[in-house]
């Protein structure tokens, strides 16, 4: 069975995953060819709101790629988070100062606290 251009292979795309720029371009071109957004939802395997968001982003910003997201950039890498978790498990009585002294690029006490409150990073 041959797929038409632009269809998403369901096994290769995670749920709620971002559409690639190629898929966004295909959605825009099919919409300009006269396809309705409800038809495109079944063809591309995404929500109708995703189709409308893609079309609106193209109308407003003339872009098929995602726009930069707001918010603060990540302060510490996942590797450093895992190292903090390992140190805290090995030495449960250490203070934040002692943990910081063992790290090559020590984060603040509040960053260490928020890392230790969250669940450990996946291995």
Digit-coded pLDDT (tens) for 51-98: 999 999 999 999 999 888 888 888 788 888 999 999 999 999 999 999
Domain count, the chain: 2
Q: Please tell me whether residues 22 and 61 are part of one structural domain.
A: yes
Confidence class for position 1, pLDDT limits 50, 70, 90: very low
Q: Please tell me whether residues 63 and 85 are part of one structural domain.
A: no
Confidence class for position 44, pLDDT limits 50, 70, 90: confident
Q: Does residue 9 or residue 98 have the better pLDDT?
A: 98
pLDDT at 29 over 70: yes
Cα distance between residue 110 and residue 23, in whole Å: 41
pTM of this prediction exceeds 0.75: no
Indicate whether 73 belongs to any domain. no
Confidence class for position 48, pLDDT limits 50, 70, 90: very high
Indicate whether 25 belongs to any domain. yes
Tell me the residue range of the domain where 2 lies. Answer: 1-67
Q: Please tell me whether residues 35 and 90 are part of one structural domain.
A: no
Indicate whether 122 belongs to any domain. no
Indicate whether 47 belongs to any domain. yes
Indicate whether 46 belongs to any domain. yes
Indicate whether 72 belongs to any domain. no
């Amino acid at each position: 069975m041959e797929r038409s251009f632009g269809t998403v292979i369901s096994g290769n795309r995670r749920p709620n995953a971002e559409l690639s720029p190629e898929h966004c371009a295909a959605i825009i071109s099919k919409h300009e060819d006269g396809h309705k957004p409800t038809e495109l939802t079944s063809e591309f395997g995404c929500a109708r709101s995703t189709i409308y968001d893609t079309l609106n982003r193209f109308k407003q910003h003339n872009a098929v790629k995602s726009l930069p997201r707001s918010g603060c950039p990540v302060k510490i890498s996942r590797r450093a988070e895992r190292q903090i978790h390992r140190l805290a498990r090995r030495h449960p009585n250490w203070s934040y100062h002692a943990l910081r002294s063992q790290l090559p690029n020590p984060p603040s006490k509040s960053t260490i606290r928020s890392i230790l409150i969250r669940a450990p990073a996946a291995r």
